[in-house]
Structure 1
Amino acid sequence: MSSTATPSRTAAPVSARRAQTRERLMAAATTVFAERGVNGASVEEVCETAGFTRGAFYSNFADKDELVLALIQADVAAQYAAAASALEEAECALGTSTVATVVASTLERFDAFGATTREGVLAQRELLLHAARVPALHGPYRDFLATSSAQLRTLLADALERVGLEFTLPVDLAVEMLLATHARVQNQALFDEGVDTTAMQAVVLAITRPRPDGRAGAGMGGGPATRSA
């Protein structure tokens, strides 16, 4: 009995350390890729930034392409958590903020929209360009985009229902308009320290209207949404 219990107790810390090592390597890669690009960055630079050896890298990733894929997949996972957090904040904020502010804030918290720091935008662009250059990554990146779009449609539908609004045009077209608007916000982040989100709020107001029943969804107090800025 004791001989089988001991390995199970010692295995967990090793797994936790490996997960932490992987996370640090991925965080370091984000920084290095933003500075030098995926092709310009070496495995050694990623390891040095993370404070690990090449052995630690290759025990977690076969090569840089696998690291890039892991970063893309991590974005998808982070979006689920960001979406849930954003909706919780929307519920709390509706009583003291306008609908435009609440919905725009919800979108900004969603990780597909959330990369608005210079480093974050540069790293995101580098992952896109590298995936475009490497045929083996085309399929996984398409899957990432499809998953992101599906999550975003679900998030928007839920968020708008909670604040008593609906789109005035098909949801797919609305999502494309919001993505295009945010792409401009991201481009601004590459050159300016501050990010102006008023354009996103204006687009939200322009393509939404109060629901016919005039009520917010469950959990939002049941009152009509206020659209004023």
Structure 2
Amino acid sequence: MVTELTPKRVTRRRVRTRANLLSAAFAVFAAKGYGRVSIEEVCEAAGYSRGAFYSNFDSLDELFFALYQERAELIADQVSGAFALDGPDLDVPAAVDRVTDVLLLDLDWLLVKTDFLVHAARNPAVAQSLLDHRARLREAIADRLARAAGRFELPTVLSHVDSAAHAVIAAYDGVTTQLLLDKDVEHARVWLKQLLTALLTDGRRTPE
């Protein structure tokens, strides 16, 4: 009986250790900047040894990608939920309202993401990995839009869901860049809502 349960206890502990490392790294990255943090500082913040770190991650880059993937999946799920409506028609402005009301607009995350983007821009291998992650996010959004495409008509300029997904991500990137400077989350949500509604409806309807 003990032998059967031991692997489960180890698995739970490993999952908990990984989650604690991710949480600690996020806090340290946000406070100091991605490029100014060492593995030792992450371990100290999490209360673990370097051995615990390397049993879960090969590098800080790999740890960051794990953080990025969590948030990429969250954003994709938020988009999916906004467009998951029953009935023959899709009210795009209403769907945009829902997604912008809950979409991740976290200043600490935006600081970390921007730091890492600069780091990746100077390291081709890291840049390619980040491009791969962004491509998966874009594909997830395109998939959600494709499922809803039968219930609304995309503007002519965005007649393909891939183009629409690129536009959605570009709008999100632009709004969050402004948000980093003015720290006005509510204004960012309003502006993102206006942009997405205009993009996905060709300006035919605007949010109130």
TM-score category (smaller protein): 0.7 to 0.9
| Contact 1:168–1:209 (8 Å) recurs in 2 | no
AA partner of residue 116 (structure 1): L
AA partner of residue 59 (structure 2): D
Separation in structure 1 between the aligned mates of residue 136 and residue 71 of structure 2, nearest angstrom: 10
Separation in structure 2 between the aligned mates of residue 208 and residue 72 of structure 1, nearest angstrom: 26
| Stretch moving more, 41-50 or 190-199 | 190-199
- What is the match of residue 16 of structure 1? 12
Separation in structure 1 between the aligned mates of residue 60 and residue 200 of structure 2, nearest angstrom: 43
Separation in structure 1 between the aligned mates of residue 75 and residue 92 of structure 2, nearest angstrom: 22
Separation in structure 1 between the aligned mates of residue 21 and residue 94 of structure 2, nearest angstrom: 36
- What is the match of residue 42 of structure 2? 46
- What is the match of residue 221 of structure 1? none
Separation in structure 1 between the aligned mates of residue 30 and residue 148 of structure 2, nearest angstrom: 32
AA partner of residue 165 (structure 2): V
- What is the match of residue 70 of structure 1? 66
2:154 equivalent to 1:166: yes
> Which structure dedicates a bigger proportion of its chain to helix?
2
Larger Rg: 1
Separation in structure 2 between the aligned mates of residue 208 and residue 58 of structure 1, nearest angstrom: 44
- Correspondence 1:188-207 to 2 at 5 A: 188-190=178-180, 191-196=182-187, 197-207=189-199
| Contact 2:21–2:46 (8 Å) recurs in 1 | yes
Secondary structure of the residue aligned to 1:166 is coil
- What is the match of residue 173 of structure 2? 183
**Per-residue CA distance 1:141-180 (angstroms, 9 max, x = gap):** 2211221111111223334545x44333223443333333
Unaligned runs of 5+ in 1: 211-225
Separation in structure 2 between the aligned mates of residue 10 and residue 72 of structure 1, nearest angstrom: 31
- Correspondence 1:85-104 to 2 at 5 A: 85-88=81-84, 99-104=92-97
| Contact 2:30–2:111 (8 Å) recurs in 1 | yes
Secondary structure of the residue aligned to 2:36 is coil
Structure-2 change in CA distance of 1:7 and 1:80 (3 Å): farther
- Using the aligned pairs only, state the percent identity: 30
**How many angstroms does 1:18 deviate by?**
0.7
AA partner of residue 35 (structure 2): N
**How many angstroms does 1:120 deviate by?**
1.2
- Correspondence 1:66-145 to 2 at 5 A: 66-88=62-84, 99-106=92-99, 109=102, 114-145=103-134
**Per-residue CA distance 1:10-55 (angstroms, 9 max, x = gap):** 1112111111111121122122112222220122221232232333
Separation in structure 1 between the aligned mates of residue 197 and residue 59 of structure 2, nearest angstrom: 45
AA partner of residue 199 (structure 1): W
Secondary structure of the residue aligned to 2:134 is helix
Separation in structure 2 between the aligned mates of residue 40 and residue 108 of structure 1, nearest angstrom: 33
| Stretch moving more, 125-134 or 29-38 | 125-134
